[in-house]
Amino acid sequence: MKGNIVVGQSGGPTAVINSSVAGVYAAAKKLGVKKVYGMVHGIQGFLADKLCDLDEYLDNETGVELLKRTPSAFLGSCRFKMPKIEGHEDVYEKVFEIMEKHDIECLFYTGGNDSMDTVKMLSDYAAAHNKPQRFMGVPKTIDNDLPITDHCPGYGSAAKYIATSMKEVIRDNSSFGVEKPTVLIVEIMGRNAGWLTAAAALAKDVDCEGADAIYLPERTFDVDAFMAKVKDLAARKSSVVIAVSEGIKVADGRYVCELANANVAVDAFGHKQMSGMAAYLAQAVAAETGLKTRAIEFSTLQRAATHLASLTDINEAFQVGHDAVLAAEDGKTGMMITLDRNGDDPYQCGTSAYDIHASANVERAVPDEWITEDGCGLNEGYEKYARPLIMGELQPLFVNGTPRHLVRK
Amino acid sequence: MKGNIVVGQSGGPTAVINSSVAGVYAAAKKLGVKKVYGMVHGIQGFLADKLCDLDEYLDNETGVELLKRTPSAFLGSCRFKMPKIEGHEDVYEKVFEIMEKHDIECLFYTGGNDSMDTVKMLSDYAAAHNKPQRFMGVPKTIDNDLPITDHCPGYGSAAKYIATSMKEVIRDNSSFGVEKPTVLIVEIMGRNAGWLTAAAALAKDVDCEGADAIYLPERTFDVDAFMAKVKDLAARKSSVVIAVSEGIKVADGRYVCELANANVAVDAFGHKQMSGMAAYLAQAVAAETGLKTRAIEFSTLQRAATHLASLTDINEAFQVGHDAVLAAEDGKTGMMITLDRNGDDPYQCGTSAYDIHASANVERAVPDEWITEDGCGLNEGYEKYARPLIMGELQPLFVNGTPRHLVRK
The CA distances from residue B114 to A285, B117, B120, B138, B351, in Å, are 29, 5, 10, 12, 21
Chain A partners of B294 at a C-beta cutoff of 8 Å? 300
DSSP per position, A291-351 = -EEEEEE-TTHHHH-GGG-BHHHHHHHHHHHHHHHHHHHTT--SEEEEEEEEEETTEEEEE
CA distance A403 to A67: 12
pLDDT at A276: 77
- The 10s digit of each residue's pLDDT in B59-109 is 999 999 999 999 999 999 998 999 999 999 999 999 999 999 999 999 999
User: What is the CATH number assigned to the segment(s) A155-304?
Assistant: 3.40.50.460
Q: Report the residue from B203, B387, B398 with minimal CB separation from A393.
A: B398
Q: Is B236 exposed, middle or buried (0-12, 13-18, 19+ CB in 10 A)?
A: exposed
Query: Is residue B38 less than 8 Å (CB to CB) from chain A?
Result: no
B-facing residues of A in 304-343 (CB < 8 A) are 304-308, 310
Q: Where in chain A do CATH 3.40.50.460 domains reside?
A: 155-304
pLDDT of B28 > 90? The answer is: yes
pLDDT at A267: 45
Chain A partners of B174 at a C-beta cutoff of 8 Å? 72, 76
CA distance B167 to A5: 31
B156-303 is classed in which CATH architecture?
Answer: 3-Layer(aba) Sandwich (3.40)
Q: Report the residue from B72, B292, B307 with minimal CB separation from A164.
A: B307
Is residue B80 within 8 Å of B91, Cβ to Cβ? Answer: no
pLDDT of B233 > 70? The answer is: yes
Determine the residue of chain A that is closest to B203 in CA distance: A402
Which residues, including other chains, have CB under 8 Å from residue B84's CB and lie 6 or more apart?
A: none
CA distance B279 to B283: 6
CA distance B245 to B251: 16
- Local confidence band at B263 (pLDDT 50, 70, 90 cut-offs): very low
- Local confidence band at B262 (pLDDT 50, 70, 90 cut-offs): very low
Q: How confident is the model over B276-287, as a mean pLDDT?
A: 88
Phi, psi for A59 (deg, rounded to 5): -85, 60
Chain A nearest CA to B251, separation (Å) = 27
The neighbour count for residue A392, using CB atoms within 10 Å, is: 17
Q: What percent of chain A has pLDDT over 70?
A: 96
Q: How confident is the model over B19-30, as a mean pLDDT?
A: 98
The neighbour count for residue A167, using CB atoms within 10 Å, is: 28
CA distance B401 to B380: 39
pLDDT at B270: 52
Chain A nearest CA to B100, separation (Å) = 24
Please report, as a single letter, which amino acid is at residue A219.
R
Q: Is A55 marked active-site?
A: no
Q: A400, B205: Cβ pair inside 8 Å?
A: yes
- The 10s digit of each residue's pLDDT in A323-362 is 999 999 999 999 999 999 999 989 999 999 999 988 777 8
Query: Is residue A191 less than 8 Å (CB to CB) from chain B?
Result: no
CA dihedral A12, A16, A20, A25 (to 10 degrees): 120
Angle, CA A255 vertex, CA A10 and CA B263 arms, to 5°: 110
Q: Where in chain B do CATH 3.40.50.450 domains reside?
A: 4-153+306-359
Chain A nearest CA to B407, separation (Å) = 6
Query: Is residue A224 less than 8 Å (CB to CB) from chain B?
Result: no
A4-141+306-361+393-403 is classed in which CATH architecture?
Answer: 3-Layer(aba) Sandwich (3.40)
Q: B390, A401: Cβ pair inside 8 Å?
A: yes
ipTM for the predicted complex comes to: 0.95
Is residue B116 within 8 Å of B137, Cβ to Cβ? Answer: yes
Query: Is residue A403 less than 8 Å (CB to CB) from chain B?
Result: yes
Q: Where in chain B do CATH 3.40.50.460 domains reside?
A: 156-303
pLDDT of A138 > 50? The answer is: yes
Q: Report the residue from B13, B173, B265 with minimal CB separation from A172.
A: B13
- Local confidence band at A262 (pLDDT 50, 70, 90 cut-offs): very low
Which is the catalytic residue, given A49, A90, A124, A143? A143
Q: A390, B407: Cβ pair inside 8 Å?
A: no
Q: B398, A395: Cβ pair inside 8 Å?
A: no
pLDDT at A166: 98
Q: How confident is the model over A305-315, as a mean pLDDT?
A: 98
3-state DSSP helix/strand/coil percent for chain B, to nearest 5? 40, 20, 40
The CA distances from residue A349 to A136, A157, A316, A343, A365, in Å, are 20, 16, 9, 7, 21
pLDDT, averaged across chain A = 93
Query: Is residue A269 less than 8 Å (CB to CB) from chain B?
Result: no
Q: Where in chain A do CATH 3.40.50.450 domains reside?
A: 4-141+306-361+393-403
Determine the residue of chain B that is closest to A78 in CA distance: B176
Chain B partners of A21 at a C-beta cutoff of 8 Å? none
pLDDT, averaged across chain B = 93
User: What is the CATH number assigned to the segment(s) B4-153+306-359?
Assistant: 3.40.50.450
Q: Report the residue from A79, A295, A395 with minimal CB separation from B176.
A: A79
Is residue B141 within 8 Å of B11, Cβ to Cβ? Answer: yes
Q: What value does the CA radius of gyration of chain B take, rounded to a whole number of Å?
A: 22
Chain B nearest CA to A403, separation (Å) = 7
Query: Is residue B172 less than 8 Å (CB to CB) from chain A?
Result: yes
Q: B391, A406: Cβ pair inside 8 Å?
A: no
Chain B nearest CA to A157, separation (Å) = 10
What is the model's pTM? 0.95
CA distance B14 to B71: 7
